[in-house]
């Protein structure tokens, strides 16, 4: 909500602030609420003025993805061991996606590999090389971890972040599933930890790729 201005008066905007407002709008009211008119209102301008900062709505969505993913991945310190480095990367990525569940469906449509994320990949590859992994092997490890984090975030976002509650499963029809859920196996954090640990220990032991 910008201050009142008369026609033509500057609102002091920038692409950055437009993206920021868009992200805020999406977080508050959902992806469906992101319309050019509403976004403009949020910024205190008219709909068409948004087009001075963004060529069209698709580019706006691209900008959202870029902003979220880059923020997730930038400035990751190399951990003490390669396991810690990868674990930190995975958790940071998932944490960010869970904090912005609305952009996850966008991710599945836009490539997220920008120059800045490439830099992080390169740095991580270096850490892995020092641990004795070839670049090819390292890249596959990073791919696997990235896929896991994104998939887990997608499933969470799809489940509305409130997955199988203890009594959501009919114990008569699906006894094993019900028992597993009762034991807390569907807990979001726990199950991601489990998957991540399994993948990391699999990296250590798997055949050379």
Partner DNA sequence: GGCTCGATTCTTACAATGTAAGTTTTCTGC
Partner DNA sequence: GCAGAAAACTTACATTGTAAGAATCGAGCC
Minimal distance, residue 161 CB to DNA, in Å? 24
Question: Residue 25: which of 12, 14, 35 has the closest Cα?
Answer: 35
Residues 126, 73: Cα–Cα separation, whole Å: 16
34 binds, among DNA, a second copy, none (CB under 5 to 8 A by kind): DNA
118 binds, among DNA, a second copy, none (CB under 5 to 8 A by kind): a second copy
Residue entry with tokens 């403009």:
40
Residues 62, 101: Cα–Cα separation, whole Å: 15
Contacts of 209 (CB under 8 A, 6+ apart): 136, 137, 140
Minimal distance, residue 7 CB to DNA, in Å? 4
Question: Under the criterion CB under 8 A, does residue 76 sit at the interface with a second copy?
Answer: no
Question: Under the criterion CB under 8 A, does residue 157 sit at the interface with a second copy?
Answer: yes
Q: Which of 41, 119, 132, 171 binds a second copy (CB under 8 A)?
A: 119
The contact mask relative to a second copy for 79-118 (x = CB under 8 A, - = no) is -------------------------xxxxxxxxxx----x
Asked if residue 129 lies in contact with residue 135, where contact means CB atoms within 8 angstroms, the answer is: yes
Backbone angles phi, psi at 7, to 5 degrees: -55, 135
CB of 37 or CB of 95, closer to DNA: 37
Backbone angles phi, psi at 185, to 5 degrees: -70, -15
What separation, in Å, do the N-terminal and C-terminal C-alpha atoms of the chain show? 54
CB of 45 or CB of 98, closer to a second copy: 98
Backbone angles phi, psi at 130, to 5 degrees: -60, -25
Which segment (18-26, 34-42, 72-80, 123-131) binds a second copy by CB under 8 A?
A: 123-131
* Contact positions vs a second copy (CB under 8 A): 104-113, 118-119, 121-122, 125-126, 129, 134-141, 143-144, 146-152, 154-155, 157-160, 164, 169, 173-177, 179-181, 183-186, 190-192, 194-195, 197-203, 205-207, 209
């Amino acid at each position: 909500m910008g201050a009142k201005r008369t026609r033509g008066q500057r609102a002091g905007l920038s692409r950055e602030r437009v993206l920021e407002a868009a992200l805020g709008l999406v977080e508050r009211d959902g992806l469906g609420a992101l319309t050019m008119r509403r976004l403009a209102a949020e910024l205190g301008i008219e709909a068409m003025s948004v087009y001075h900062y963004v060529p069209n709505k698709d580019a706006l969505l691209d900008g959202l993805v870029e902003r979220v993913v880059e923020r997730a991945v930038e400035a990751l310190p190399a951990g003490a061991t390669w396991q810690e480095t990868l674990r930190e990367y995975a958790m940071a990525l998932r944490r960010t996606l869970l904090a912005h569940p609305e952009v996850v469906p966008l991710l599945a449509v836009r490539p997220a590999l920008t120059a800045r994320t490439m830099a992080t990949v390169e740095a991580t590859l270096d850490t892995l090389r020092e641990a004795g992994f070839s670049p090819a092997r390292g890249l596959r490890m990073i791919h696997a971890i990235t896929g896991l984090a994104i998939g887990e975030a997608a499933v969470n976002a799809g489940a509305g972040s409130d997955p199988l509650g203890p009594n959501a499963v009919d114990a008569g029809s699906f006894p094993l599933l019900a028992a597993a859920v009762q034991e807390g196996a569907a807990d979001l954090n726990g199950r991601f930890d489990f998957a991540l640990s399994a993948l990391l220990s699999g990296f250590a032991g798997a055949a050379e790729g």
